[in-house]
Amino acid sequence: MPLDKEALESLRRTPGASAAQYTRGPGRRRLWLLLGAIGIVAAIVFWRFAGAPVPVQTVMVDAPAADGAVLNASGYVVARRLATVSSKVTGRIAEVLFEEGAAVEEGEVLARLDDATAQADHEVAVRSLEAARRSLREIEVRLADAQKTLDRNRSLVERALVSRSVLDSSEAEVAALQARLAAAGAEVNVAQARVAVSRQGLDDLLIRAPFTGAW
């Protein structure tokens, strides 16, 4: 749009002129028309380049399908489930029982740590349990025999064939064996707990798959 030279000339101030001289007269009307025209042009430019939508071109590719066609592409696969497996205890890895990418079932053993020390502890615990059980059976047999002797002595005392002291000795022996039997039973329970702990220690040396999948 060409500029109005006369309107621009009216904006020039001369030395000594007062401000009132530039706010009255025909130049004032031209000034306002010029400012209005500039505003309209600026609004059109802003709407054209800032507010107008930018067209997007979409290209469609139509490729005919062919029998036995193979699509070759490169990329990578992300597993749906990821897990970091480790043992509850530290130790030297003695054996790895899987290969990378192999399919495994949940609970399957993937690796085994050195179990020499744990296996020895387990054997000691098992032998201690066996010894505690033998002691318990021995006391049970002795208690049964002492109970028979006590019953027989009671019968003899009732018939005045033996003294009362014999009966008292039989009763004391039965009571002692009953106490030993209770203690032996407690030892068996402790030995069983030790075997369970040692067995768990052996199992902790096995690294198992947390779920079914490929590793």
Q: What is the pLDDT of residue 17?
A: 47
Which residues is 214 bridged to in the sheet?
103
Query: Whose structure tokens read 């054209």?
Result: 48
How do residues 87-119 score in pLDDT, each as one tens digit?
Answer: 777 888 888 877 777 787 887 888 888 889 999
Structure tokens that stand for 101 in this block: 């990418």
Compute the mean pLDDT over every residue in the chain, rounded to the nearest whole number. Answer: 75
CB 170 within 8 A of CB 149: yes
Q: What is the pLDDT of residue 175?
A: 94
3-state secondary structure of 187: helix
Of the pLDDT bands very low, low, confident and very high (cuts 50, 70, 90), residue 193 is: very high
pTM: 0.55
Of the pLDDT bands very low, low, confident and very high (cuts 50, 70, 90), residue 210 is: confident
CB 146 within 8 A of CB 170: yes
Q: Distance between CA atoms of 46 and 53, rounded to whole angstroms?
A: 12
How do residues 51-76 score in pLDDT, each as one tens digit?
Answer: 445 454 554 545 555 555 555 666 66
Of the pLDDT bands very low, low, confident and very high (cuts 50, 70, 90), residue 141 is: very high
